[in-house]
Each structure stands twice: as C-alpha cells, then as structure tokens.
Chain A
Amino acid sequence: MAAFDHIRNMHDIALKPRLLRTLIREHMPDEKHPLKGPSELSHVVSMVKTHRLLSESLTADSTDPKVVESWKAAVDSWVNRVLMLASSNTPDKCWAGICLLGVTCQECSSERFLASYSIWLPKLQSHIQPPADSHFVKVASCASLSDLFTRLGRFPRVKKDATSQAVKLVQPVLKLLNEDSSEAVWEGAVCLLCTFITFFPSSIHRCYDSAEAAVVSKILSGKCSVKMFQELGHCLALLPKSRGDEDSWSLMMQKILLSINVHLNDAFQGVEEESKNNEAMRLLIPPGKDPPPPLGGHTIGEALDQRTKRPERLQMSSVSTLMRCCCTMLTSSYPVQVRVPIRPLVALAGRVLMVDGSVTQALFPFMTAMQQEFICSELPILHLYSLELLSAVIKGVRSQLLPHAAEIVRLLTEYFKRCVLPDLRIKVYSIMRILLMSMGLGIAVYLAKEVIDNASVDLDSIAYDGGGTSSSSAYLKASNDVLLQPCQKKRKHASTASSLEEQPDRVDLEVGLPKNPTPVSVKIAALEALEALLTVGGALGAESWRPSIDCLLITVATNACKGGWAKEEKHNFLSSEPVLTWADFQLATLRALLASLLSPARFRPPHLAQGLELFRRGMRETGTKLGEFCAHALLALEVLIHPRALSLIDFSSASNTSFDGINNRFPDAYSYGHKRNTPFSTGTLGKGPDDSNLGDDDLYESWLANDDEIEIPVTDDAGKDKSCTEKPSETCRDSSPEKIPLVADSFSTRVPEENRPELVSDRVEGKGGEIMVEAPQFQEPIKQGDSTSRVISDGVVSDHVEGELATKPDDFATGIVSTAMATSNLERSKQLDVDSDMESLPDIVDGDPDSD
C-alpha cells in the first residue's frame, strides 16, 4: 500500500480494514510474539468496539468492491488469528484468543456469525472440559460461550441446532459448578446456565433436577461471596422458566418457602413462640397434603440434616439468598399465569418482621446471651429482605393484592413504629410509596397518618438541625407548634435567613450537638413518601393535615436550598455504589414541594410565592437534574399563576353550598356582565375576569381559614394584618415580575383610599393587577366588594368587547351566538390571546379606561 494512500476522513470505510490490520500486526500476539501485556488486549477490544471494525456494515455511499473485499479479508485474518490464539497451548495466548473470540461473537456481522459459529463453538467448548486449563481460561470460555449463545438467541431459525448444542454443554457446565473450586469459575458457569435458561429453555429440561441440586447445594453451603450468592439466587429463580409451566413455578416457590421457614425455625428458637413456626408450616403445607421434596432434591436435604450444626452465620446468608430468590421469582416475567402463594409469603415476611430479638420470660433458659447477640446481629439483614419480599409481592400481583392489602398495611404500620435503622426505614418508606402509587385513594386513607407521622419526625430534625427532637408519642402536636414558628418568623422579619441564623444558637443552647441526626437518605425516602401521598391523596387531608405538611415542606425546602445549590458530584473513590448527596436531597425537597403546591386543596397554595422563588433560583443551575426539574416545576405551576380554567371544585369550596350562594353574593356583577355580554357565548364569559374574582375570593377565605388553622395567635393584630396584606403582594410579584414596583406600590398605597378609576386602570394593566384589585374586598368583605367588582367588570368587559371587536369582526357583526362548548373552546383561546395581546400592548390599554 502506498505511503500516501490517504483516506478521506475518520468515517471512511476504507479506514476500517487498515485499522484492523494494524491492530492484528502490532497489538496482537502470534506464534512468535508473546502477549505484550494484558492492557494491550483491552486496547484492541476498545478499538474494535469504537470503530466497529468487525461489523462489515457498509454505508450506502461506499460500495467500492475493493474496499469491501479488503475489509472482508481483514476480518478473515482477524478470525484466523483469534482462532489460532485460542488453540495455542500457551495459556496467556489461549486466554487472549478466547476473550477476543467472545468479542468477535458479539461484534461480527450476522452472516459471518451464522456461517462460522459452529466452528467457534468447539474451540470454546474444549476449554471448559477436562483436561483442565487454568481458571482464567475456564472463566473466559464461559463468558465467551455465554455471549455466543446470547447472540444465537437472536436468530430464531437456528434455534433447534443451538438448543442441541446447548444440551451437550449443560452437563459439563454443571460439572464445573459441582467440582471446581474457584468462585470465579462458578460465576461463569452460573452465567452460562442463565443464558441457556433465558434463550434456550428446553436445553435444561433433561438436567432440571441436577441443575437445581447443583445451585441449591452451593447456596446452602454458604461459602460464597455476596455477589456469588446473588448470581446463584438469580439462577435458581430463573430455573422454572426452563419448563415454563405453572406447576414448576409453584413447586419451586413452595420448596423455597419451606426451606426458608425450616432455617428460621432453627434460628429463631428462643426469640419467638413455637406456635409461630407451626402456623407458618401449616400455611405452606395444607393439612392432608404431602410436603414437597426438599429443595435441591433428597440427597442434599439429607446431607443438610446430617450436618445439623453448621455455622449459623452461613445459614443466615443462605436464608437471605433464598428470600432474594423469591423476590426475583415474583418480579421477573413468566410465560404463563401462576398461582402466587400470597398468604404464606406475607406470613413469612410478618414472621421475620415481628422478631426483634427480645427473649420472652418463658424461653429464657433456652437461650444464651451469645445466641441472642448473634440473632440480633443478623436481624437487620433478615428484616431488609422481608421488606424486599413484601415489595416484590406488591409489584408482582399488582391489583390482585386487594384482598390482602389491609393485612400488609397493618404489618407495615406496626413495624414502622419500631423501626429505627436507616436502611430499614428507607425500605418501609419505599414500600409505602409503591402501595400509594399502585392502589390509589383507597390506600391513601389507610396510610396517610402513618406516612405523615413518620416523615414529620424524620424531617423535623432538618428544620432544627436535629436540635429539638420531640418524643414520638405526642410529637405531632408538638411538632406542629414548633414547625410553624419559622414561618411566622419569616413573615415578621421578611428575611429568609433569619430562622436559620437562630437555629444554631438554639441547638447550642439546648443540647450542644445535634442529637441523633437523621441520615440524608432517610430524609429523601421520607420526602418521596410524602410526595406520593400528596400526589395520590392530597385533597383528602385538606381539612386536617395539609396545612402543616405544606408548611413543613416549604420549610424543609427553603432550609435545604438556603446555602446555594450543591454540586452533583458523584465521584467517589473505591466505591461503586452511588452515594446520596446533598444535591439529591435538594432535588427531593423540591419534588415534594411541587407536589404540595400542585396537589389540590380547598385553598390556593399558601406558599406558592416562596416555592416559585426557589424553582426560579434552581432553574439557573444549568445542566443539572435539579435545573431540569425546576423548569418542569415552573411549567406545571404556570396554571396556578394564570388560572385559565378554574375547576368546579375550587368554586364550590368557597361557599360550600352551591353556586347559587356565590351568585347571590355578586348579583350585580353577574347581571351587569350578562347584559353587556349577551352577544357572546356564555362559555367565553365564563373564562373572563369574573372567574378570577371568584377564585381570589376563595383564596382569601381560605387564607383566613388557613391562618386560623395554622397560625397560633402569637402575633398581634397589626402583625396579622401585615401577614394578610403581604401575601397577596407576593403573589402579584410572581405572576408579573416585570411589574413589581407598580403593582406593589399601587396595592399598598392606593387600596385603602377610595380611588376606583385608577384601580380599574390598574386592573387592565396585567394579570397581577387582578389580584391586587381584590384587596378592598379583603378588607371589607361584601358590600364594598360588590361595588368594586361591578366597576371592575364594567371596565374589563368593555375591554373585552373592544378586544374581540378588533380581532373578530365577523362574529360580532353577524351577532352569532355560539352556544356550543366545542366552539367556545376556540374562542376562549382566542380571547386569551387577546388578553395577552392587551397585556403586551400598553398603549391600547392606556386608551381604554376612558370608556368608564
């Protein structure tokens, strides 16, 4: 090849064969050259994957036969080299060859794969059979074989051949599992087995029992790493799929449950009553029926019986593996409908959750302190897996859980009272969340109190940095009192920082250090549970718990976001697990806050202004999840700011009786409006300013009610007035930020005076004005309100007339009265356009008030 035979660019197909050849020549070992080092291999693989060097996929514009030919030849030589390496008798070259063959299996073109997999298969196969190679080679062969079969699974037409190949391999794989001593090899074998079950289920048919025995014996031996246990449990859970019928699933489930219960019988001796374990067994084996064969077949069962005294720690790890296995069985897919033994499952979870390590008086002599210590040390893990089991049941049977839901809820609430450890609390919160989301309103009634009580305790320490922890019994009342203080303080000082500054002092004075701070992860879980509750059943607690929860959430959110936004730094050394950071917490608080603002209640969200402020600040955090979420939140809240369609429910809540009540209160406004608007459809008018009048009246009432409910009358009259008047102005500010000075000024100064015409002109200037204009009504409820609204509607209505005249001369001229909602929809949107036009064109508006 000429030295100056340049390619076009990095996308040129001609690059690929050349790159591949270079790789083969310079980076791969051959007979003479040894492997230069393992990192060389990963370089080769990454090159192959990045440039898709083996894909032989051609783009439309490059069908130059010479290039195609050259690429094919390059891949041919790659395959030859890899096969040569794989059959080399030097272990490192052989290992490299096997690894690269696995890569080839997933990267090469379909045609090549189908044409040559039957040649590659024996190469790989030979390495997992005796005479044994090094462990490295065995593990790599298992992985590459698994990839080969995974790829084969995508071609239905070779299924038969592939199945027969897989059948031949099952025995050797089981042998590896049984006889080899290295855990890495077991893992590879289990992986391969899972691949068989997933893609070629019938290949396991004949060896079903021995496969079960092999996996179970490993699980019960208890001598594996945690990761290995996971793999084994997963494999056991998948096993029934190879048969795919209802019976094998049920049998497997029954056997596993039995095995768990038997283990627990031993472990829980002394910490639970004997009757419990009899009951669990009775549920599993209905009277008059034969027990199923033990898990893993008789030989393993007997072997276990003989070795009665296994170290207890090992038993516990087997139990947790089996529980996890149940979870996988419940949550993974299965081809046919199965009978889920829901009562035994719930009973098992309940049995474990009810054990807290306390020894009853009667059983005292049978238990040494050491035994008790051991049980107590293992209980958290068992509890965690029991909770996992419950959540798997909920996920698995979905709506069919209904007959058992009450039992699960009782179990959870009882457990929640005693549950202290962070991980367990997180789990309980998450189960409650799943329940709420899946079962809706019905369950929200049950869970509301539980979620609120617990979440308030967990979040309480935030507002006070763990300082004022309250006793759990009478805490709700206490915390309500305590919680409300920062709100009031904020109102008084009108500075958000004040409450924070005060808190450290308090903490210092009272306890010195935060007592038992709740971990961030628990708080996040609590917030998520609250969010779910508000989403599903926010309106339920409108009278009772909503005010305090809304207040709690805004407090938590402001405090969390006070110190600026945390960076989403996920980098953590020497740990692959994601660690929940402060940024996650901030996000969780904002999510819950949004739910609290959006979830409908009788009143407009009292903390809307503060919430909007937070979201606006958050939105500036470009490129973070938090920023994205804040943008979403602002979008969602827009409806609250510009209430285009106030719902039926919002109206009625004002008067609680019927609509006539409202109408009676504003008779003039309405009749006047009608007179002026008869040419227009009622639907259009319904969306007019009258709506917002009502809405705000409602708002006012609810504020009053709200204040009565929340605010403990600490403040004097003047302070209360202030709080009332300050809030609307906040709302104004939010709805039209560019008009802040104007609106705020006119509001605070002009309203008390009787300056009607100016008021009207203000009204016209923007949405924010609407709220402002209502202020006189606030002060003197009905009488003045009537006159105001009459004047207002007068002015406004004339605006509308003119606005519509301008845009829709046809309608007006012909006097079409469209009564249909479908069309009025259209009009409404047009009218909104008109409104916004008016807002954006101040010169027109300025001209209008003269029409008064």
Chain B
Amino acid sequence: MEAELVIASSATDAGIGCWDLHSGAEHLRYRSCSSPPHGLVSVAGLFLASSQLRDPSSSSGSVLYWSWNKPHVEVKCFPAEPINPLASNSDGTYIVGGGVSGEIYLWEVATGRLLKKWHAHYRAVTCLVFADDQSLLISGAEDGSVRVWSLLMIFDDMRREQARHIYEYSFSEHTLRVTDIASGYGGCNAIIVSASEDRTCKVWSLSKGKLLRSIVFPSIIDAIALDPGEHVFYAGGKDGKIYIASLNSQGTSNNSYGMHIIGSLADHSKAVTCLAFAADGVLLVSSYEDGMVRVWDTKTHNIIRVLKHAKGPVNNILVVRPPLCLNPQMLLNSQSSSVRRHGSSLPPPLEKYTNSTDEIAEVKAYLSTQPTSNEPLHASYISIHTMNNQIKELQQHGSSAAAGMEMERLKHDCKRSMQMAERWKTMYENVHQFCVNELLDGDQAEGCNGNST
C-alpha cells in the first residue's frame, strides 16, 4: 500500500503535525502555525501553505509557506486583509484565499502575482473548494450563501461586463454560516454537499444549479467528507458523532437520527472538527476539538488509530501522498537534484495588490519535465534507417551521390586495372627485352661460331 501522510493543524500554535497514516509514525512537525478552519493546503504536493489567524487589530493578513523538509516557515506573505480559507488547484498553479470582508483573492503561485480579486460574499468567506475538473470554484460564507464561480468567467473581462452577475450559481438556502463544502466526482454532473450551522447539509447539482436534497441533522455539522463511491457522505457533528448520510437510497428513516441518515460512527468524544478520506476510500480521518485525530475503518466502523496533535482543537486535516523530497529513496536517485530543487525552492510570496498597469504578458510554466526513464527510445537509433535509405538510393541509381560513389568505385577499379595493365606491360617489355637479348646473344654466338668455323 502506498504511504500516505496525515497532516493536521490547529488554531492554537501547536504547529502542523504530520503522521504516516498506516504506521502512525510522526514525521517532522512544522512550527508556528495557527490556522483558521480550511486554512491549510498542500499546494500540489509541492509545499504546505496556511493562512494565519491574526489578532483583530492588524489590518493585513498572513499566509505562510513551509517546504516539506524544513520545520520553520520559509515564505511569509501579507495579503491586504486576513484570509480565512485557502485552496489551491490540483496542478498547484493558483492559490485562492477568502477574505474576512467577503473578497476572494486569486494568486498565481509561480510568480506570486495577485491575478484577480473580486467581491464574492457580503460576509466573511468560510470555505473554498475547487470542483473536480478544476474549472469551477465553490465558496461558502458566513451569511449562508454558497456560490459557484467559473474561473474562466472571472478572467474574461468582456463577458463579465455583459453578465448581470459573475457567479454561475448562488445558493441561498442555508440560513446560517456555511461550515464546510465538499465537491463530488465528475465534471458537470458533480454534486456539491454543503454543511451549515443551521443543522442541515444540502446536496446541490452542479449541472442544474438546483438543490437536490436537504438533510437535517441532530446537531450542527462542522465537517463533511464524501465517500469516494459517493453513495454516502460522512458528516461530523458538534455532538462528537460522525453521521453517515445516504446519497442515493430513498428517503427513509428507520432510526432516531432522521431522514436519509443511516448511521453514525461515535466514540463519546468532543466535537468533530474535520474529516478527510484516505486514497483507498476506506480509512476516514477525523479530528476533534480536544486535539485528537482518529482514523476510522469505515467498513468495520472501528477506530484503528488515535493520534494526538495538540491540546487545543484541531481545525484542519489533510491526507496527502508523501512528497518526493520526503522519500529517502528518491534522494539517492540520480534525478533527485531537480526534485530537491523544486521541493526546496519555494515560489515568491503572494503579492498584496494587483499591479493593474502590468498586463499579464508572461506565464511562468513548467514545460513537461524530463522524461523519468533513463532509457532512450529505441527509435532514436538512426544508422539502420539511414543505411536502408541509402541502399534504396543505390539500387535506384537515381541520385548523384549514389552515382558519385559508383563512379568512385569504377575509378578505383579502373586505376587497379591500369596498374595491372602497366604491370603486364612492363612484364611484356621485360620478356621482350629478354627474348631480344637472347636472340641477339644467340646470333652473336652463332656469328662467332661461324667466324670461328
């Protein structure tokens, strides 16, 4: 099973705790973080970012970055106002933050530029979630409204001016503060589940923009987690119970909890503050007001692990895949240099104001990173291909180059033949000379003989 990390932070400064989900071993504790609810985010697994609770007197907010392998804060950003919820898209390109005034801020991570800021709600924003396909942003606020934003629309000045409102949907059925939002799987058919202090959870359809189901709970729900199969969702209540509410069975109630609620996970504990699912869809991580973190097996309804984070209430839980730089094997790997570079050098801090004069002319982007395999593709060998081409050319006798080579060869042959001819010639001449000499000598000898006789 692949390792996963549980990450927890709290409003009191107990740092960010980090445990291995399956072994329970605690990793590094990142220091000096006091986060508001929904204020902790792992930016595409590259680093941790968290907005910070500030004393009410300070006018600006604060967002801090930690890199995975160092316990202390590495980057400090000071947005124009205190930021409550923080969210980042799955690529880690953007960070969005919801301000206490109801503004939503959208920053580009790589450059820290504040790309957009818009007035989203009348009261403070409480939750921000990206929809599954990353093109929509869902926000909830203290005034009970849940709004769905198309990021494209946010950036499209021309359309924004034409439209009456820039949100796609605005749901106002909740009467009190929205406490948590979860977005389901699937592009346009996704559902959104929102929880509120009015003791209801409501299920919305993203494609129709309609309320599908409203479930009344016995207590205020502060946290929700969607089962990966989406036939139920889990709702953590102020009464310490985690209710299981069904999403696709009929409205039936055969127990004391109420319509659609089919059970609960309970441990006689303090109020549930956060819920998160592990990747296998079985383990559910819950955190409590007393600073504990429990891991439930949703199949057996048993607690399989209890982790202690702090004295104060835990208000953020993340379950993430361990980043590469925390993996000891990766460090030994030859490619780790780049990983380490990416892992440790954090992007610049988020800017406070939009620079309106500076048009967004450039985008800082990772082009696709180096292919991970060291094995070059087999097709990159070219000599056989080249050879075959040349053979074809030779056989067709078409090209000048082929002809040139043929000529070279013929020349060479010719030269050799010439040499041969030369040799024959000399040989012939030698023989000739020899014969002539013989003959002359014979004559002379005969002459001598004749003379003598």
Contact = CB atoms under 8 A, between A and B. Distances in A.
A682 B366 contact: no
Interface stretch (B22-30, B209-217, B417-425): B209-217
A564 interface: no
A786 B323 CA distance: 58
A403 B111 CA distance: 14
Interface string B403-445: 0110011001000000000000000000000000000000000
B398 interface: no
Contacts of B386: 99, 102, 139-140, 143, 188
A41 B250 contact: no
A652 B210 contact: yes
Nearest to A192: B382
Contact of A342 (B191, B363, B367): B363
> Size range of the interface on B?
35 or more
B189 A539 contact: yes
Nearest to B255: A819
> Size range of the interface on A?
35 or more
Interface in A76-100: 89-92, 95, 99
A100 to B, nearest CB: 9
A539 B152 contact: no
A232 B281 CA distance: 51
Contacts of B246: 682-683, 686, 821
B198 to A, nearest CB: 17
A188 B214 CA distance: 70
B89 interface: yes
Nearest to B406: A92
A283 B360 CA distance: 11
B227 to A, nearest CB: 8
A99 B153 CA distance: 59
A691 B231 CA distance: 14
Interface stretch (B10-18, B76-84, B154-162, B286-294): B154-162
Contacts of A121: none
B249 A440 contact: no
B391 A136 contact: no
Interface in B61-113: 89, 91, 93-94, 108, 110
Contacts of A156: 334, 374
A191 B391 contact: no
B88 to A, nearest CB: 11
Interface in B326-373: 334, 338, 359-371
Contacts of A405: 152, 155-156
A92 B361 contact: no
B402 interface: yes
Contact of B249 (A339, A400, A683): A683
Contacts of B32: none
Nearest to B157: A406
Contacts of A42: 387-388, 391
Contact of B370 (A331, A335, A445, A663): A335
Nearest to B156: A406
Interface string A330-370: 11111101111111100000000000000000000000000
B338 A335 contact: yes
Contact of A648 (B135, B213, B388, B391): B213
B361 A342 contact: yes
B136 A337 contact: no
Contacts, number: 301
B93 A399 contact: yes
Contacts of A681: 262
Given A341-B361, A686-B246, A92 B151 contact: no
B299 interface: yes
Contact of B391 (A41, A102, A401, A652): A41
A686 B252 contact: yes
Given A103-B384, A140-B387, A146-B383, A332 B412 contact: no
B138 to A, nearest CB: 12
Given A154-B374, A337-B366, A442-B135, 17 more contacts: A90-B412, A91-B409, A95-B405, A135-B404, A140-B387, A143-B387, A150-B381, A342-B360, A404-B155, A406-B152, A406-B158, A445-B150, A537-B188, A648-B203, A686-B250, A820-B263, A821-B244
Interface of B: 89, 91, 93-94, 108, 110, 115, 131, 133-136, 150-153, 155-159, 187-189, 191, 203, 205-208, 210-214, 227, 231-232, 244, 246-252, 254-255, 262-263, 298-301, 334, 338, 359-371, 374-376, 380-388, 390-391, 394-395, 401-402, 404-405, 408-409, 412
27 contacts: A38-B394, A45-B387, A102-B384, A103-B383, A140-B383, A140-B386, A143-B386, A150-B381, A198-B376, A331-B367, A333-B367, A340-B364, A341-B362, A342-B360, A342-B362, A406-B158, A440-B187, A441-B133, A442-B153, A536-B187, A539-B208, A658-B211, A663-B250, A682-B249, A683-B246, A821-B231, A824-B262
In the A-B complex, list the 7 residue pairs whose CB atoms are closest, starting with the nearest. A102-B383, A686-B249, A440-B133, A442-B135, A406-B156, A539-B207, A143-B386
